[in-house]
């Protein structure tokens, strides 16, 4: 991959994996090459013992400003179908990871960059971050799941305000609308990320993965009374449940093994 095409790197630190968009000179604008690299890393993570996945953008100026306009401006309708289809495929794979995922938005996240963040389970933003889906101003529409995921998070009317009226949200508004789990000053960002990651890692891995699937299934209309019973039955076969019960009885912190 050439430098101009950008890259997405995967780094591991214990049970924490970090995916980083590395194209700061182009404000981390996404290319097909970057999407395919992200897809490859997601396959690796799906088979790993990683407990939490953090998504970041390199450089101080942007999380990601979205799809590289120069790469899609001249596409034919058929080619555009392939471009949008690739984005959906990759972002859907990100949303389906069994591990909790956290997008760290320290700077602008627009278009496909915001759609990438929306595909994560949780988002932490700085007060100075800016978030938006401005595609209609370019004569097109959000193409990588933004209309659906944004509507699910903030409701139909607010999604229309962001997409149709091209409203840009600041960090505080993103938190107030439920788009972000937290909005913090830039100086406190890493502390907030570490705190959230620590809390996510504190749960039993199998139970966390099952609970994530239950929540997503419930959002899609699946009956919780059936799925929760099945998932609860699965947890009875894990060592982690016994460790958790022992910790509760002895008032000690359980040590989960993920088995």
The pLDDT value recorded for residue 256 is: 78
pLDDT of residue 115: 98
Q: Which of 33, 58, 115, 175 is catalytic?
A: 115
Every domain of the chain and the residues it spans:
3-201, 205-250
Q: What is the DSSP string of the chain?
A: --GGG-EEEEEEETTEEEEEEE-GGGTT-B-HHHHHHHHHHHHHHHTS---EEEEEESSSS-SB--B-HHHHTT--HHHHHHHHHHHHHHHHHHHT-SS-EEEEE-S-EETHHHHHHHTSSEEEEETT-EEE--GGGGTS---SSHHHHHHHHH-HHHHHHHHTS-PPEEHHHHHHTTS-SEEE-GGGHHHHHHHHHHHHHTS-HHHHHHHHHHHHHHHTT--HHHHHHHHHHHHTTSHHHHHHHHHHHHTS-------
Please report the pLDDT score of residue 2 as a whole number. Answer: 43
Q: Is 135 a catalytic residue?
A: yes
In CATH, the number for domain 3-201 is 3.90.226.10
Active site residue 7: no
Catalytic residue among 33, 58, 135, 175: 135
What's the pTM value of the predicted model, to 2 decimals? 0.92
According to the model, what pLDDT value does residue 245 have?
65
Q: What is the pLDDT along the chain (259 residues), one digit of tens a residue?
A: 445 678 999 999 999 999 999 999 999 999 999 999 999 999 999 999 999 999 999 999 999 999 998 888 888 889 888 888 999 999 999 999 999 999 999 999 999 999 999 999 999 999 999 999 999 998 989 999 999 999 999 999 999 999 999 999 999 999 999 999 999 999 999 999 999 999 999 999 999 999 999 889 888 887 777 666 676 667 667 777 677 667 767 888 888 777 8
What pLDDT, on a 0 to 100 scale, did the predictor assign at position 51?
97
């Amino acid at each position: 991959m050439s430098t101009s095409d950008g890259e997405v790197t995967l780094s591991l630190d214990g049970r924490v994996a970090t995916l980083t968009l590395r194209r700061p000179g182009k404000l981390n604008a996404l290319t097909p090459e970057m999407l395919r690299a992200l897809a490859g890393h997601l396959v690796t993570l799906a088979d790993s013992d990683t407990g939490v996945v953090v998504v970041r953008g390199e450089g101080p100026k942007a999380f990601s400003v979205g799809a590289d306009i120069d790469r899609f401006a001249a596409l034919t309708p058929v080619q555009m179908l392939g471009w949008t289809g690739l984005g959906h495929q990759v972002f859907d794979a990100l949303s389906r990871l069994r591990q909790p995922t956290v997008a760290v938005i320290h700077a602008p996240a627009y278009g496909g960059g915001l759609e990438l963040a929306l595909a994560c389970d949780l988002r932490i933003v700085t007060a100075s971050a800016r978030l938006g889906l401005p595609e209609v101003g370019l004569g097109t529409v959000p193409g990588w799941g933004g209309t659906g995921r944004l509507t699910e998070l903030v409701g139909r009317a607010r999604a229309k305000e962001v997409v149709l009226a091209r409203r840009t949200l600041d960090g505080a508004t993103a938190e107030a609308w439920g788009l972000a789990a937290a909005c913090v000053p830039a100086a406190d960002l890493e502390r907030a990320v570490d705190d959230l990651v620590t809390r996510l890692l504190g749960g039993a891995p199998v139970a966390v993965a099952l609970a994530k699937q239950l929540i997503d299934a419930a959002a899609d209309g699946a009956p919780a009374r059936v799925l929760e019973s099945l998932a609860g039955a699965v947890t009875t076969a894990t060592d982690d449940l016994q460790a958790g019960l022992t910790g509760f009885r002895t008032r000690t912190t359980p040590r989960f093994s993920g088995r």
